Structure 1
Amino acid sequence: MEQIAAPEKRLGVVMLGKCNLEVRLFDIPSPGYGQVRMKVKASTLCGSDLNLIYRKESWKDGPGKYCGVVAGHEPCGEIDQLGDGCDGFEVGDRCIVYHINGCGVCQDCRMGWHISCTGTKRKAYGYQRDGGHSDYIIADIQNLVKMPKFLTFVDGAMVACGVGTAYAACLRAQVSGRDRVLITGLGPVGLCIALIARASGAEVYGVELMSERRQQAIAHNITLIESNTEAAMKATDGKGFEVCFDASGNSQARHFCLEAARRWGRVVYVGEGGNVTFSPSPMLLHKQITLHGSWVCSMAQMEDLVELLARWQLHPEILVTHKYRLKDAATAYELFNTGKTGKVAFIWD
């Protein structure tokens, strides 16, 4: 297909820290070898960016320093220009960008786990290299996942991080129709876990303290319980939950997952940050609990996920509560920072 001409300038969101950002003009980039240029069609906001970038008071010197690149690590769009060495991709392809560009040669990269890359060349989109809060993005083909026609661009942007993270966590726990699942923390990632677990056949329950998020959970037919052992046992005929996920990072929620899990159950910690203290013998060993940590997903898992979403006829976009144009980025982040929204997305025509 013919390469599509781009305008001379593009908009891009730059995080300044201390809950400030700017929408700036940038030159339109051209792709290098093994790269494509994509016209961004959707770019969703992620809670991890709030702590790591948006709220940041200062950045340390070194390779991790945030140096005014375009923000956003959940982009989805359409290829409009190919660099050399891009066999297998064409102009017009609808693609998700996996948000870590790894070194490509370490063991984790060779398994498709770029998120866990140990090489010095590892770069995150929206952190060490330009991300998706822009009209155009340059992406390496090793980070691209083609989308089925069924999925919308907003669906794809959500898969780039949140839904991919949820899917990997469900795989780690081997969730199936035999399971009653409890999720603590029903923000965007917790709700994504609920959608994936239910699509996998599980019976889903949740714990959430914030009233706005409780209402969102109810709207998506998630059964809410209180965060105490009595409520957990009542919901499970005195057995406990086969699988418990914590998507909050809260120490009490993490502890409650261990309390609420049945003997021989599985617990997965997904939420970032925070701490937890527990007594291993009664909480873990004697209950024969399997405790997992789960961080994002692999490229192969993301490719499987987009196929499954189409088969399940499941649109993650149903979790989006607010959509904005890029020029309104400050308003979007200010609202998202309250923690009272579902997923928030930037969209383009």
Structure 2
Amino acid sequence: MHAAFLPGNREVDLREVPDPTPGHGQVVVAVRASTICGSDLRAIYREHLGEGPEAYQGVVGGHEPAGRVVAVGPGVDRIGVGDRVVVYHISGCGQCEDCRRGYQISCSAPSRAAYGWQRDGGHADLLLAEERDLLVLPDALTFLDGACVACGFGTAYEALCRLAVSGRDRLLVTGLGPVGLAAGLLAGAMGVSRVVGTDPSPERRELAVELGAVDEALAGTDEELRAALGDGAEAAVDCSGSGRGQLTALRHTRRWGRVALVGEGGQLSVDVSEVLIHRQLTVHGSWVTSTVRMGELLENLARWGLHPETVVTHRFGLDQAAQAYSVADSGVGGKVGIVWED
């Protein structure tokens, strides 16, 4: 089978590798869509950070896959051949407290392995996965929808649930890349009264408005935000992963408001008394999501008639993976997907 590896230095290495065979509790998935995440760009494509959960081990890239099951190993009983599935991209130990709650992302056992980071991921024709890491994709959703849920939309949904957003809230989204777009679209479906987004890129601001992810998209100056939100939004989510974006989210959330930080990276320097304590803010650090929450999201998306693939602006075949990563790294569009024809 064909597979794409990420050696660093903004390179993509296409290779021919053996087809996987499922062992006990494992399945083989014919990948139909595998999208590119900002963390792939930041921590693998550009340079290998090589520490902790971000230690890339030279495996097949891609941690946002969806596809159809083509083979199952012994001991598999929940998932069957022909099932359409989304792969939760962390395979945890299954025994620690975090895993038992469905948050394999936070598993700290030595056996924890992320698809596309420490074990082969979705940038290949076939993917070997653990049955426990799979969620059934509703018929109403496409494979590309499922790939978008596997990380980006799941991450955004988790943050919005922690903020408990509702029609009482205006939401500020800082960073209008794929996760920011997801946050805006989901917030609208969850009843938020108004979504204001910020991003330094005019192209991304224009796209966010065009897709209906935000009601208003701004460059993010204090003057613009005060004009749009007065003393601040009731809730905010930072998807920028930059210190500037994170500080903007904090400073333009009103007193007693709630903020979720999901964008990876960045260094934040803040006057804790002035910005946090005296303004009575609640701040959540939110890392991806759980299998339980992801399953809930898949059901809701089908019920809402919301298709995550709407944020995908570029699609490529696996043999064009190098071009796909170059486009994603340019940071001017929405989500980039690698797709297979059915």
Same fold by TM-score greater than 0.5: yes
Q: Is the 2:201–2:219 contact (alpha carbons within 8 Å) kept by the matching residues of 1?
A: no
Measured after TM superposition, the shift of residue 59 of structure 1 is 4.5
Residues of 2 paired with 1:67 and 1:282: CA distance? 43
Q: Is the 2:88–2:134 contact (alpha carbons within 8 Å) kept by the matching residues of 1?
A: yes
Residues of 2 paired with 1:297 and 1:47: CA distance? 16
1:271 is matched with which residue? 263
1:229 is matched with which residue? 222
Measured after TM superposition, the shift of residue 335 of structure 1 is 1.3
2:211 is matched with which residue? 220
The CA deviation string for residues 133-185 of structure 1, in whole angstroms up to 9 with x for no partner, is 00000110110000110100000001000000000000111111111000010
Alignment of 1:309 onto 2:301: yes
SS at match of 2:195: strand
Measured after TM superposition, the shift of residue 57 of structure 1 is 5.4
Measured after TM superposition, the shift of residue 226 of structure 1 is 4.2
2:56 is matched with which residue? 66
Residues of 1 paired with 2:163 and 2:48: CA distance? 36
Q: Is the 2:4–2:124 contact (alpha carbons within 8 Å) kept by the matching residues of 1?
A: yes
Q: Is the 1:232–1:241 contact (alpha carbons within 8 Å) kept by the matching residues of 2?
A: no
Q: Which runs of 4+ in 1 moved over 4 A?
A: 57-60, 62-65
2:337 is matched with which residue? 345
Residues of 2 paired with 1:63 and 1:90: CA distance? 30
Letter in 2 for 1:325: G
Alignment of 1:331 onto 2:307: no
Alignment of 1:110 onto 2:103: no
1:318 is matched with which residue? 310
Alignment of 1:125 onto 2:118: no
SS at match of 1:256: helix
1:7 is matched with which residue? none
SS at match of 1:109: helix
2:143 is matched with which residue? 153
What's the TM-score, normalizing by structure 2?
0.96
Q: Is the 1:71–1:126 contact (alpha carbons within 8 Å) kept by the matching residues of 2?
A: yes
| The one of 41, 60, 73 aligned to 1:50 | 41
The CA deviation string for residues 247-286 of structure 1, in whole angstroms up to 9 with x for no partner, is 1111122111121111110011111011111111121111
What's the TM-score, normalizing by structure 1?
0.94
Measured after TM superposition, the shift of residue 65 of structure 1 is 4.9
Say if 1:334 and 1:226 are closer, same or farther in 2 by CA, change over 3 A: closer
Alignment of 1:23 onto 2:9: no
The CA deviation string for residues 211-237 of structure 1, in whole angstroms up to 9 with x for no partner, is 22112112123211342333333223x
Letter in 1 for 2:223: E
Runs of 5+ unmatched residues, structure 1: 1-9
Q: How many matched pairs?
A: 338
Residues of 2 paired with 1:89 and 1:56: CA distance? 36
Residues of 2 paired with 1:240 and 1:206: CA distance? 13
Say if 1:49 and 1:228 are closer, same or farther in 2 by CA, change over 3 A: same
Residues of 2 paired with 1:64 and 1:269: CA distance? 18
SS at match of 1:81: strand
Residues of 1 paired with 2:161 and 2:44: CA distance? 29
Residues of 1 paired with 2:159 and 2:207: CA distance? 21
Q: Is the 2:176–2:205 contact (alpha carbons within 8 Å) kept by the matching residues of 1?
A: yes
Residues of 2 paired with 1:183 and 1:270: CA distance? 11
Residues of 2 paired with 1:243 and 1:154: CA distance? 29
SS at match of 2:166: coil
Runs of 5+ unmatched residues, structure 2: none
2:23 is matched with which residue? 32
Residues of 2 paired with 1:290 and 1:264: CA distance? 7
SS at match of 1:27: coil
Residues of 1 paired with 2:49 and 2:228: CA distance? 45
- Percent of counterpart pairs with the same letter? 48
Q: Is the 2:43–2:49 contact (alpha carbons within 8 Å) kept by the matching residues of 1?
A: no
